[in-house]
Structure 1
Amino acid sequence: MTEATRRTPGTPCWVSLMVHGLDATQEFYRALFGWEFEPGPQHLGPYVRALLDGEEVAGIGQLPPDRHLRIAWTPYLASDDADETAESIRCCGGTVAVGPLDAGEAGRMALCSDPVGAIFGVWEADAHHGTATAGPPGTPVWNELLTYETSSVGKFYRAVFGHEVEPVVSADHDWATLHVDGVPVASLHGVGNALPRDRGPHWMTYFETVDVDTAARLAVELGGQLLRPPYEARTGRVAQVTDPEGAVFALVRSAGR
């Protein structure tokens, strides 16, 4: 997927990570995914964009030393008007924690959370339209919200972004898929009390990889942790890992690859 134009509102368009050790984090993801890096907007402090074969795929920024926030990958959802979307988020029971503010000439952004606390970003593109390629190994290919239950939170995302919420019929699992213009763009997974107490509701980004088992072992060798060993899922073979600062993400070899 290569995009030269602004994404349709509600579509995940970027993933970003804020850490304390920017240099060490770059080394981890360079070794794991083959990313290279170039400077990005510095509106929130030091920030780099990760490149794969010259295409922008993700961003990593550095937190101030006195900020002790949860280290987590954050998906950004596209908006035609970040200020209007931020107001809608507030009206629908969510929280706007940062912004909306300008990110240089790249665009306008806000950091928000849904009514049960899952953090996500809002991105109104100007010069920067987001992830330039998705699909090859090392790129973000999916985002899933792990939450208590999907019904009420699905109504929030539908009201704010216009998502079509399609429940997945299952007697054993609480699943739903978010669609934009009939195209699936993200998923919701209600796990109730199985949510990790130290993280609560949260979005998880899936990164494509050639070999999930090998990549999971490499993540551990590089200083990360294995949270869930490789297993077969609806989407393909998946493992859940963290980077050295504790950011959780999934490794996936998508079905059919």
Structure 2
Amino acid sequence: MHTFCWYELRTTDPAAARAFYVDAVGLVVAAADACWRLRPDGPELGEFAVLPAQAAARGAPAHWLGHVAVADVPAAVQRFVALGASPLGPTQTRPDGLVAPLRDPLGAVLAVTSRTHASPTATLAWCDLHTRDPAQASSIYHSMFGWSPTQRHDLGPALGAYQEFAWRPGGASVGGMSDAALRPEIHTHWLFHFAVDDLDAALQRVRAGGGSVAGEPMRVPGGGRVAQCEDPQGAAFALHEAVSR
């Protein structure tokens, strides 16, 4: 099963970002460790890294880079390129496997990885793809990774169509794809949601830590609430309160 299994924050100030996410979101980071967990006894799920110079030179802001687990990185890159994706530099050899960052055919950045210690079942609360054409994006990701469309919602003229997806046919929804990138203020990107028990309290911590909140929290299908945020270095993320308070 191909899932997002690793979440790498590429940022201009990893130390400051680490302190922000520990306080505002509750990520758990061991002393002097660049990797983070969702709970003390949980698996490592990501890392804080310096924004690569070549990405900064292209004008890329600080951002979260989701890594999708694959068995064969070179073969996955070849398949994705055949679907219209673009490699963002050469495949990287890291101590625990290969990593290849790419731009999908509609412009969102992600990576494919063979990381040996990443946990493909310990994913975040939700994954949103902000794109220009959710129907085309759904077809691309289904062809590439087998992700299957589930419920479709009409969120009204301001928010448009929203297509949920599952990692595999018959599975529970784990994210959604919208046409939000048609709006001039939103770029095409994957937006990762971190679960919080109390959204309002978490948003206070985001603001106190130097981050920002985009608009008011929104009610989502299923009764939860979400809010889109930026950390102090400008990386976008979301907070997800699953149960209505």
Same fold (TM over 0.5): yes
Cα distance, 1:218–1:169 mapped onto 2, change above 3 Å: closer
| Contact 2:68–2:113 under 8 Å retained in 1 | yes
Q: Within 5 A, what are the aligned runs for 1:62-141?
A: 62-63=50-51, 68=56, 69-104=60-95, 106-126=96-116, 128-130=117-119, 133-134=122-123, 140-141=124-125
| Contact 1:94–1:113 under 8 Å retained in 2 | yes
Cα distance, 1:158–1:16 mapped onto 2, change above 3 Å: same
**Displacement, 1:203?**
0.6
Q: Read off the aligned partner of 2:126 and give its amino acid letter.
A: W
* Percent identical residues: 22
| Contact 1:226–1:241 under 8 Å retained in 2 | yes
Who is 1:43 aligned against?
A: none
Q: Deviations over 1:126-159 (max 9, x none)?
A: 2x1237745xxxxx21111011121112121122
Who is 2:9 aligned against?
A: 17
Asked if 1:209 corresponds to 2:196, the answer is yes
147-156 or 178-187, larger mean C-alpha shift: 178-187
Unaligned runs of 5+ in 2: none
Number of equivalent positions: 233
**Displacement, 1:170?**
3.2
Who is 2:214 aligned against?
A: 227
Who is 1:5 aligned against?
A: none
Cα distance, 1:171–1:226 mapped onto 2, change above 3 Å: closer
Task: Give the superposed CA RMSD.
Answer: 2.4
After TM superposition, the score normalised by the length of structure 1 is 0.81
Who is 2:141 aligned against?
A: 157
Cα distance, 1:65–1:75 mapped onto 2, change above 3 Å: closer
Asked if 1:177 corresponds to 2:169, the answer is no
**Displacement, 1:54?**
3.7
Q: Within 5 A, what are the aligned runs for 1:28-47?
A: 28-32=20-24, 33-37=26-30
Unaligned runs of 5+ in 1: 1-7, 41-47, 135-139
Give 3-state SS (helix, strand or coil) of 2:207's partner.
helix
Distance 1:93 1:214 in 2: 42
**Displacement, 1:228?**
2.5
Asked if 1:243 corresponds to 2:235, the answer is no
Distance 1:20 1:66 in 2: 13
| Contact 1:75–1:143 under 8 Å retained in 2 | no
Q: Read off the aligned partner of 1:116 and give its amino acid letter.
A: L
After TM superposition, the score normalised by the length of structure 2 is 0.85
Give 3-state SS (helix, strand or coil) of 2:204's partner.
helix
Segments of 4+ moved more than 4 angstroms: 64-67, 131-134
